[in-house]
Amino acid sequence: FSLPPAEVEVYLENLGGTIKEGAVVLDTGPIKRAFFDCAQRHLPRGRHYVGATPIIGPEALLRDSSGTDVPREDLFQGGSMAIIAPPGASEDTLDVAVNLAELLGAAPLFMDLSEHDSALAGAEDLPAFLGAALVHAASDSASWPEVQRLAGNNFAQAVSLCGLLEPAALTKHWAMNREHLLAKMDALIGELQRLRQLLAQEGQEEAVEDYLEQADRSRHDWIAARERADWSGEGRGATPARDAGFLGRLFGFRSREPRSKN
């Protein structure tokens, strides 16, 4: 199932009394902490649960901007499926998520619960936060009448993300992932302050150019890795570890050891 985090509690509470022994509950919602906490409280002994987050494939990611609103059978082809399991999860429980990944044409990506929610805070929540902040910064300024007339596609795309969810739903979503989102905000504020300091100093044009070039390299590396759809070895770990760069500092990339099969 996939529900807004605020609705998970009631759903699992009702499900707990009817679910058969040995059944596996698979959640594809965005925040796994809410799901795991509710599953521990409401699912009876002998019922299992696992989290899965399907990530769209590179072709769908780069081909258009329609996101996941338009159903397509190849939406997740060549993408990844993050799998988050509680400690001691059985192989049969994991197989449910792995089989779903294979059905969608995505590669299984085993992640820690905190790691998953932290990464999603940076990759999904932070852009929406930025869009809302950008609208406020522009609309609260004295030049807003002029901005409205001059703003083009860049502004429209940047602020569109803050309207993907209803404000009440987005507020609850952010509150449930508050700790991770605040950490990503702090990282972003640090980057903005760093860039501001460079711009404020005379003779720092080369440093600003280097900063932008590094950000562009990180963006190209990310797109290239998604297009390869190969996250073993260098694709997932070694590149960010070599030079975290702008995206690494913001999202907390680091090298990882392959997941043990034991």
- Tens of pLDDT along 113-131? 999 999 999 999 999 999 9
Please tell me whether residues 217 and 129 are part of one structural domain.
Answer: yes
Q: For position 61, what pLDDT does the model report? A: 84
CA distance 51 to 33: 10
Please tell me whether residues 46 and 73 are part of one structural domain.
Answer: yes
Look at residue 26 and give its three-state secondary structure.
strand
Domain boundary among 111, 138, 158: 111
CATH code of residue 168: 1.10.3660.10
Average pLDDT over the chain, rounded to an integer? 84
Q: For position 64, what pLDDT does the model report? A: 56
The model's pLDDT over 38-53, given as tens digits with 9 standing for 90+, comes to 999 999 999 999 999 9
Q: For position 24, what pLDDT does the model report? A: 94
Within a domain: 128: yes
Within a domain: 26: yes
Characterise 71 by phi-psi region: left (phi > 0), alpha (psi -120 to 50), beta (else).
Answer: beta
Q: Tell me the pTM.
A: 0.79
- How many domains is the chain built from? 2
Residue 167 has pLDDT above 60, yes or no: yes
Residue 7 has pLDDT above 60, yes or no: yes
Within a domain: 256: no
Residue 72: give the domain boundaries: 5-111
- Choose the weakest-confidence range: 5-14, 42-51, 98-107, 211-220: 5-14
Within a domain: 41: yes
- Choose the weakest-confidence range: 7-11, 41-45, 201-205, 258-262: 258-262
Domain boundary among 83, 111, 139: 111
| Percentage of the residues of the chain whose pLDDT score is greater than 90 | 61
Please tell me whether residues 121 and 246 are part of one structural domain.
Answer: yes
Q: For position 247, what pLDDT does the model report? A: 46
| Cα–Cα distances in angstroms (integers) from residue 151 to residues 145, 147, 170, in the given order | 10, 6, 25
For residue 44, what is the DSSP state?
P
For residue 43, what is the DSSP state?
S
pLDDT confidence tier of residue 251, bands split at 50, 70 and 90:
very low
Domain boundary among 79, 111, 143: 111
pLDDT confidence tier of residue 72, bands split at 50, 70 and 90:
confident
Half-sphere exposure of 204 (CA within 13 A, CB side): 13
Residue 262 has pLDDT above 50, yes or no: no
| Cα–Cα distances in angstroms (integers) from residue 262 to residues 52, 90, 93, 125, 258, in the given order | 20, 11, 15, 34, 12
